[in-house]
Amino acid sequence: MAGTNSERELIAEGPAIILVEPQLGENIGMVARAMANFGLGELRLVSPRDGWPSDKARAAASKADHVIDGAVVFATLEEAIADLHFVYATTARQRDNFKPVASPVTAASTLRSRFSAGQKTGILFGREKSGLKNEDVALADEIVTFPVNPAFASLNIAQAVLLMSYEWMKSGMDDVTATPFQEIDQLPATKDEVVGLFEHMEDALDSRGYFRPAHKKARMVDNLRAVLSKRGFSSQEIKVMRGVISSLDRFSRKNPRGSGAPLNEAGEGSDVDDGVES
Amino acid sequence: MAGTNSERELIAEGPAIILVEPQLGENIGMVARAMANFGLGELRLVSPRDGWPSDKARAAASKADHVIDGAVVFATLEEAIADLHFVYATTARQRDNFKPVASPVTAASTLRSRFSAGQKTGILFGREKSGLKNEDVALADEIVTFPVNPAFASLNIAQAVLLMSYEWMKSGMDDVTATPFQEIDQLPATKDEVVGLFEHMEDALDSRGYFRPAHKKARMVDNLRAVLSKRGFSSQEIKVMRGVISSLDRFSRKNPRGSGAPLNEAGEGSDVDDGVES
């Protein structure tokens, strides 16, 4: 599994994911995988249609075996949530009841606060075909719903679990713009290195008669330096660039393609000879 | 599809989703569905292993036909991104290159800014088994990676597309805590209605001798009112509660269960007669 570090401790805490009468084992497996991706571990199944355990669920879980092995089956939703202090119901539809409605961001923040206070929480997900019934929703404290495209609002159950798991993970981060790994650390080049690149490039071009007509040279150098400095090269990148210039400067094509002389910035052909060196 | 409003205009704009050598048609279909859920419409496929079009993809797309029908196949990644101005590569692994690394939140914000400025953008997703190769990543401007559980970091391709599509949708919202529908609007009860509930309840209890011993009555009333007011009833809810009290007050069980007299707040048995009325 790309990017997985199996020496890192598995995170598995936070709200229980409760699937109400799930139909397909494959979906239960995808749910388990999504939970594992974002550090949730507790899966509860209310009366799964095709029974439990399920080989299809295990296969689809892509090695999230700790979630599959820990899953607990209940006969009724009431039993499945009996020990919980606070429960969200996920739904894409306005319900004819008086529950508060939260976004995933708000719900994750609420779940995180309650988790920190030692409360046990859960999130209910409905049947693949028909979602949660009103009597299921009635057992929850609040509703959570997703900011979907109104013309295409039906989320797959594993996708819905993924989004809540992802927001749960983010709710525990000090900075949601943080990334698990960063750009390789490189110091910007010093000005001495940058000027070295300028001069190397300019010398290579000058020796080919690039800066023509002569009275435009100062302006052309300014423009070239603007292009080269805008990018913000690192020291390492300056080395790469100087290697490129050296190669272009010192060697000719072994197998010249085309016979046109190179064009300079002004689109005028160079009259420098391009003889093969080696 | 629960919650889908087919009279609403389909949203289909924003970055192109580019799958590099996807293997299973089912996954391409799940990608199309995830895109449609969050308003993306442009799918590009680089050399899909099992060919295109794909019946399996269409079936898995759950009616996201506009995405499937609009998908375009390219022979190479270079061709697939030729017209784009800015491209992210998704990866779960640190790469040995110098690309900036962004979180999904940051990447979505960047894509939204570039979209608003009229730029064409895209997001690359790798092969199911092996992800993006280094030479694929080299063609992108920046990397985006997900804040996953380090011990279980491998996201299914459709799940990765879903998260980016979801963050894209959120990046266009003024308030990420907004929800597509809200709690049914109800005014809080007026104090007159609340006091009416208090008095109704207290009268029903008093007539049963609930407030014993007499010198504790004032304190018991205070406690009861604290319980009833903490909840913040709406006018409608007050009506429901008063109906409940009336029913308990005026009628007895038609089929009495058990013979114990009811207990009051202090746990002392009431001596009120519980004769059947009807």
Who among B36, B39, B159 is closest to A162 (CB)? B159
Q: Does the bond joining A188 to the residue before it have cis omega, within 30 degrees of 0?
A: no
Q: Do A1 and B152 touch (CB under 8 A)?
A: yes
- Residue B229's φ and ψ, nearest 5 degrees, are -95, -20
Task: Report the distance separating Cα A104 and Cα A171, nearest Å.
Answer: 10
Q: Do A180 and B100 touch (CB under 8 A)?
A: no
Higher pLDDT, A241 or A98: A241
Q: Quick check: A10 and A38 in contact, CB under 8 A? A: no
The helix-helix angle for B191-206 and B217-230 (nearest 10°) equals: 140
What residues of chain A, 174 to 203, have a C-beta less than 8 Å from chain B? 176-184, 186
DSSP A275: -
pLDDT at residue B234, rounded to an integer: 83
Indicate whether B76 pLDDT > 60. yes
Indicate whether A107 pLDDT > 70. yes
Residues A71-103 as b/e (b if ≥16 CB within 10 A, e otherwise) read beebeebeebbeebebbbbbbbbbbeeebebbb
Higher pLDDT, B197 or A96: B197
Of A47-61, A88-102, A243-257, B13-27, the poorest mean pLDDT is in: A243-257
pLDDT at residue A272, rounded to an integer: 36
Stated as kind and residue range, the H or E segment containing A74 is: strand A72-74
Task: Report the distance separating Cα A89 and Cα A101, nearest Å.
Answer: 9
Task: Report the distance separating Cα B163 and Cα A240, nearest Å.
Answer: 36
Q: Do A150 and B8 touch (CB under 8 A)?
A: yes
| Residue B131, helix vs strand vs coil | strand
Q: pLDDT for A62-102, tens place per residue? A: 999 999 999 999 999 999 999 999 999 999 888 776 788 99
Indicate whether A215 pLDDT > 60. yes
Indicate whether B276 pLDDT > 50. no
Indicate whether B186 pLDDT > 80. no
Class of residue B116 by CB neighbours under 10 A (exposed 0-12, middle 13-18, buried 19+): exposed
Q: Quick check: B278 and B251 in contact, CB under 8 A? A: yes
The whole-chain average pLDDT of chain B stands at: 85
Indicate whether B105 pLDDT > 80. yes
- Residue B201's φ and ψ, nearest 5 degrees, are -65, -45
Mean pLDDT of B234-260: 74
Indicate whether B146 pLDDT > 90. yes
Contacts of A92 in chain B (CB under 8 A): 2-4
pLDDT at residue B265, rounded to an integer: 45
Stated as kind and residue range, the H or E segment containing A168 is: helix A157-171
The whole-chain average pLDDT of chain A stands at: 85
What does the domain layout of chain B look like in residue ranges? 16-171, 183-254+262-278
Indicate whether B257 pLDDT > 60. no
Mean pLDDT of A6-28: 85
Indicate whether B3 pLDDT > 60. no
Indicate whether A40 pLDDT > 90. yes
Confidence of residue B63 (pLDDT cuts 50, 70, 90): very high
Size of interface A-B (CB pairs under 8 A): 219
Pure H helices in chain B: 25-37, 55-60, 65-70, 77-80, 104-116, 134-137, 157-171, 191-206, 217-230, 235-250
Task: Report the distance separating Cα B261 and Cα B272, nearest Å.
Answer: 8
Cβ–Cβ contact B240 with A under 8 A = no
Min Cα distance B270 → chain A (Å) is: 31
Contacts of A159 in chain B (CB under 8 A): 33-34, 37, 158-159, 162
Closest chain A residue to B187 measured between Cα atoms?
A: A98
Please name every residue paired with A188 in a beta bridge, in sequence order, or none if there are none: A234
pLDDT at residue B223, rounded to an integer: 85
Confidence of residue B266 (pLDDT cuts 50, 70, 90): very low
Whether the CA torsion B125, B24, B148, B131 is positive or negative: it is negative
pLDDT at residue A264, rounded to an integer: 52
Most confident of A16-25, B214-223, B265-274: A16-25
Min Cα distance A118 → chain B (Å) is: 22
Confidence of residue B99 (pLDDT cuts 50, 70, 90): confident
Of A14-28, A108-122, A264-278, B88-102, the poorest mean pLDDT is in: A264-278
pLDDT at residue A8, rounded to an integer: 60
Radius of gyration of chain B measured on its C-alpha atoms = 31
Indicate whether B158 pLDDT > 50. yes
pLDDT at residue A267, rounded to an integer: 45
Report the percentage of chain A scoring pLDDT > 90: 50
Q: Do A62 and B156 touch (CB under 8 A)?
A: yes
DSSP A263: B
Confidence of residue A228 (pLDDT cuts 50, 70, 90): confident
Mutation pick from B9, B143, B179, B235 vs chain A, by most beta carbons of A within 10 Å, is B179
Fold classification of B16-171 is Alpha/beta knot (3.40.1280)
Q: pLDDT for A117-168, tens place per residue? A: 989 999 999 999 999 999 999 899 999 999 998 888 889 999 999 999 999 9
Contacts of B155 in chain A (CB under 8 A): 37
Task: Report the distance separating Cα B248 and Cα B225, nearest Å.
Answer: 18
Confidence of residue B191 (pLDDT cuts 50, 70, 90): confident
Indicate whether A108 pLDDT > 70. yes
Q: Do A10 and B179 touch (CB under 8 A)?
A: no
Class of residue A154 by CB neighbours under 10 A (exposed 0-12, middle 13-18, buried 19+): buried
Q: ipTM more than 0.85?
A: no
Mutation pick from B10, B37, B237 vs chain A, by most beta carbons of A within 10 Å, is B37
